[in-house]
Structure 1
């Protein structure tokens, strides 16, 4: 009994250790990205699509190689009886209407319950197929390129989603700290007014006004903590960790600003965007399909070498080698070639128009994100200026309040303005970090 319990205890200890070590995790931005890319199920689906495309390419290449095929046929005739050829005088060789002196004694063929068996092995080699094999290999190679670009596109989308969740969690962490400071600030003011009220220096309404503001601040702190927990769970969901994992953000918002280099942003996007690479690949496939349509109506030449063996009851049991060649020349197909060529041309034109339209949309997207970054940069500068002025105003108002030159309402307003200014800066810095990642994505460098 003790021997059975001991492994269970060890297992429980290991499980508890793993759970405790997994319940809290410190992550940098790059570590979070790596975990998200490893976990993401959409990326796993895209990875399987890459494998399928590569396998299809390898399968297409085998069409260049000779095929070895085996065949076999067995037939059984259970109701067939023996065949008899009656005796007869053979006709004359010079005059088929006259009898000769040759006598045929007759023949009895053993065909009762006849079994016919044939088997063989053939080696088939295509010699010319109108270019279809070469075009099929080009199409599958392009398919591999498209699958790779699609995978990279999904990677960029996952990274952007991860960065947005990471920086929003970092921002909410700063907002929780800000809310805590604001509560402590009001708590200190409430203590000061309580003392003044006890001494009869201020009316009770002044003390109650601060208390009401403090209660609101505590409620906002609770909301901020709950929002932080929800954002934490959202990041856990994205990177595949249990939702109750406590994630510690190791990177903080950086208030030292630097705009990305916008030079050649549009040209970089045209050269690097995965969407354009995919559409360009689809256009090339349409071109190959157009050529494939013409190849369908070209002559086809093939060769075959094989060995075939036949066994027909007791009458025949032998085999022989065979060499064959086949030539197929299309002659008339009721304008099928014309209609298929028109369809292939329309598909090619559609692919070219989609590529051109997407290029225009991407150029517009690059310009939009550049404007958003410039706007975000200016917004941060203004919010930082506003924060400094709010801090200076709060310090001045606090000093004046202590000497009785400002009212409690003035001080409360100054504290609220300071909190709003700091919150605006946090929000501006967060959006700027997300926009920097988004800009890398729109120019195809993420």
Structure 2
């Protein structure tokens, strides 16, 4: 191989390698997500929502089928028959064929409310399915919001543990330096080493918690589980101004589950109407036309009829009465369930609201504690370096600082997730 060919191949390999590296870099670029972005992805990709949409489509076709019951039905019947007549004193026996075609048209005129009840029930079923879809979307929004805030919480806790390791590493260097010149006891060195090792273990756990939180958020948004994400927001405090009574009123007015129980009561009432229709007569308008012949296909002879057919069941061994009692019992159950659901919703709103207010108070106190703990840690570090303070004072101050930061992050997380739970409990639309 000539030198020129060698350098050409080498240049080609370098260019190719750079292109592959660049492509890998692009593919590995983290996905930036805001909370709204995450919710939009979840609402688009979540399988529970797709299942609820299928339920709604099913209910729509059930309504279409119920409405079709009031329309015209047409039945075509063809009969091919071969028969033998018995001989008589005047006629010999013979074998013959008969081909018959009939068309029957039927329109229901009166069903005692049966068809109307079925249409009403199916219409309510569509409303119920639509509310179920909204309820599912609201739950997915809550799950996504909680997972988003969990990533933010674990990201902040990871930073707290990283800072703790940095502080303890620096402190250990200080202790090592003083131990080397004989100004501190070996117990100070050992306790500092143990404390750093513990902090490193906590950092490992914090990293694992963050990785799991990212995987959970990827899962709920429909992204590959190993997708690296970068969140655009951070945990923050925004004051909530609505009163508890306002929240409860809004929940009772807007919560899909509350509306669903009202729909269920109406469906039960429709079922009572359907059951009672069994005691009423049925009246149908029927028209028919018949063609028959001894030769296939049997279209020679023609007859037609128009009739109004009324049918009234006067005795059915109390079957209709039992169905009415069953429908009444189902209505009673639906009414109790509706009230129970409303009570549960009020309790859910109250729990979320009070938890949010409790977390709000912790935010205020813990934010002050963080500043105090930072100042205390700096003072004890200086005191120890000057030979006035003890190693235990420094370690205790560092632990108190880490705990204060953790409490503050936890309070912010609890506040934001409780507010998200409150919005879900109030039935705030998913989009």
Same fold by TM-score, threshold 0.5 exceeded? yes
Secondary structure at the aligned position of 2:287 is classed as: strand
Q: Report the Cα offset of residue 85 of structure 1.
A: 6.0
* 1:240-282: CA deviation from partner (whole Å, max 9, x where unpaired): 222211122221101x341341241111111111111111111
Q: Report the Cα offset of residue 75 of structure 1.
A: 2.1
Q: Report the Cα offset of residue 438 of structure 1.
A: 0.2
Match among 76, 87, 90 for residue 82 of structure 2: 76
Q: Report the Cα offset of residue 237 of structure 1.
A: 2.2
Q: Report the Cα offset of residue 379 of structure 1.
A: 1.5
Kept in 1: contact 2:357–2:415 (CA 8 A): no
Q: Is the aligned partner of 1:336 residue 2:342?
A: no
Q: Is the aligned partner of 1:133 residue 2:139?
A: no
* 1:352-372: CA deviation from partner (whole Å, max 9, x where unpaired): 111112212222222222211
Q: Is the aligned partner of 1:210 residue 2:192?
A: yes
Q: What is the alpha-carbon distance in structure 2 between the residues aligned to residue 310 and residue 43 of structure 1?
A: 56
Q: What is the alpha-carbon distance in structure 1 between the residues aligned to residue 247 and residue 299 of structure 2?
A: 80
Matches within 5 A, 1:214-233: 214-233=196-215
Matches within 5 A, 1:242-321: 242-254=224-236, 256-262=237-243, 263-313=245-295, 317-321=300-304
Partner of residue 159, structure 2: 177
Q: What is the alpha-carbon distance in structure 1 between the residues aligned to residue 24 and residue 66 of structure 2?
A: 48
Q: What is the alpha-carbon distance in structure 2 between the residues aligned to residue 230 and residue 68 of structure 1?
A: 62
Partner of residue 404, structure 1: 387
Kept in 2: contact 1:27–1:250 (CA 8 A): yes
Q: What is the alpha-carbon distance in structure 1 between the residues aligned to residue 86 and residue 194 of structure 2?
A: 116
Kept in 2: contact 1:74–1:117 (CA 8 A): yes
Matches within 5 A, 1:348-427: 348-427=331-410
Kept in 1: contact 2:101–2:299 (CA 8 A): no
Q: Is the aligned partner of 1:151 residue 2:133?
A: yes
| More deviation, 48-57/293-302 | 293-302
| More deviation, 61-70/256-265 | 256-265
* Higher alpha-carbon Rg: 1
Secondary structure at the aligned position of 2:289 is classed as: strand
Q: Report the Cα offset of residue 20 of structure 1.
A: 5.8
Q: Is the aligned partner of 1:54 residue 2:35?
A: no
Name the count of aligned residue pairs. 408
Partner of residue 93, structure 1: none
Q: What is the alpha-carbon distance in structure 2 between the residues aligned to residue 405 and residue 40 of structure 1?
A: 61
Kept in 2: contact 1:156–1:441 (CA 8 A): yes
Q: What is the alpha-carbon distance in structure 2 between the residues aligned to residue 238 and residue 396 of structure 1?
A: 46
Q: What is the alpha-carbon distance in structure 2 between the residues aligned to residue 302 and residue 17 of structure 1?
A: 73
Partner of residue 35, structure 1: 41
Check 1:154–1:382 CA distance in 2 against 1; reply closer, same or farther (3 A cut): same
| More deviation, 216-225/62-71 | 62-71
| More deviation, 402-411/159-168 | 402-411
More helix by share: 2
Runs of 4+ aligned residues of structure 1 deviating over 4 Å after TM superposition are 16-20, 82-87, 313-316
CA RMSD of aligned residues (A): 2.5
